[in-house]
Amino acid sequence: MLDLSFFGDTVVLCVGDVVLDRFISGEVKRISPESPVPVLLATGETSLPGGASNVGRNIAALGGKCILIGAIGDDSTGRELTQILAAVGGIEADMVTVEGRPTAEKTRFVAHGQHLLRMDREKAQPLSAEAESAVIGKVARHIARCRALVLSDYAKGVLTEKVIAECIALAKSHGAPVVVDPKSPKFSRYDGATVVTPNMSETAAAVGVSPTTDALAEEAGRLALRDADLQAVLITRAENGMTLVSRDHGATHLRASAREVFDVVGAGDTVVATLALALGSRRPLEESARLANVAAGLVVAKRGTATVTRSELLDEIGRLSLIEKGQSETKYSSAPALAERRKQWEADGLIVGFANGCFDILHIGHLHTLEFARAHCDRLIVALNGDESIRRLKGPNRPINSVDDRVRMLSAFTSVDAVVVFHQDTPAEVIDLLQPDLLVKGADYAIENIVGAATVLARGGKVLTCPLLPDRSTTGIIKKTQIA
């Protein structure tokens, strides 16, 4: 499996338009009697870093470190955003406070997973000369510590032509690649950058060609390189994936990997964050673009201003690699390899659950237990008795299904994230190695009799018993078959 541990050694400097993203969620059950509009009964409110600050959040989620520079107002929104950023590990925010300039804020009203309305508060105008100098001074102070620079342009006025030119010059003088998320249709504003990442509409506005096909995307990329001093253009094409056009290596088309698309809010931030981390870690441009494409496929399957963790990225790369090789997707892992993945899950702040059993003939009782377990954790490991282990426990005529078949079947469960096989009579050694946060068994076991319970409880974890479904068991199924 690809090792992304190098992200942890990479510091990325992100400069741009920071925004506070606010989501007000609720239910719509009626239309207003005052006018034909839905009435939202608000039930929750969430505030998250948006714009350039969401790029920083994505860098931190992937295990990197971000120094974030932007402009905020002397207002409650700016103070709220500053407090939120301070609570995110991996981000060092160094903001310029501009008198008379409100902190940019986007409020989205959401019901049943659908956006009803977005309300913006902002003053999108270029920074004053004094504020420009303050931003450039902060970049000059931090650039030597950084391996890559992101310019996150949301057209709010922080990235003036002077700020862009000075930032790129400083990055180049320190050998740091420059990734730009552009909003201007004039790509020459970003002359000297390593790569710009326009979406389809931004590309069409800049070069007059809409990249709706591979051929048109390649043409659009070449026109962009003709008109601006850039090393490459990475065009994000929604469900059609991405097209990378480079001066040195021509065009590469990357197919979209998203299994479901729930929300595209912030997907561009995930792309530039992943791209910058990979380039800053001295990965080749095409490899970096492929990583960014996979990360984009993951983030659009989430709702709201979301991020992707390093472990999610690794897991998805593994899944796509199997598909590319024409192999069935399996979630099997050796115990030592799974222990390393478990460490990464822990680093990402995920709760790791553990269940075990023979799972010889899968039935609704198994599904019930696994869904119960997964509902109480972020990642679920299932430890599977090997064939010889089952023969010792169940007799010479078991298992009915071989361990390879059982691994394949368990891998098909969406509730299962990893499968490991043990050959002892109990999973005690595997539990000691993996140190799960949660242990789940059926309610026919008393907690004091559950193997591994003491280990999990000693580290502050939980042990849960799942209510059993009556008359659902492998032994019962076998007896019915024999009677028939």
Q: Which residues are catalytic?
A: 269
Cα–Cα distances in Å, from 432 out to 148, 184, 387?
40, 55, 22
> What letter does residue 123 receive in the DSSP assignment?
-
Q: Give how far Cα 113 sits from Cα of 29, 124, 375, Å.
A: 14, 29, 20
d(CA 251, CA 234): 10
Cα(276)–Cα(221) distance, integer angstroms: 20
**What tokens does 290 get?**
């492929």
3-state class (DSSP) for residue 375: coil
- Do 18 and 68 contact (CB within 8 A), yes or no? yes
478 vs 484: CA distance, rounded Å:
10
| DSSP3 helix / strand / coil % (the chain, rounded to 5) | 40, 25, 35
Handedness of CA 259, 106, 350, 469 (dihedral sign): negative
Does residue 391 sit in helix, strand or coil? helix
Distance CA 199, CA 40 (A): 32
Would you give the distance in Å from CA 317 to the centre of its chain? 12
Q: Are 40 and 25 in contact (CB under 8 A)?
A: no
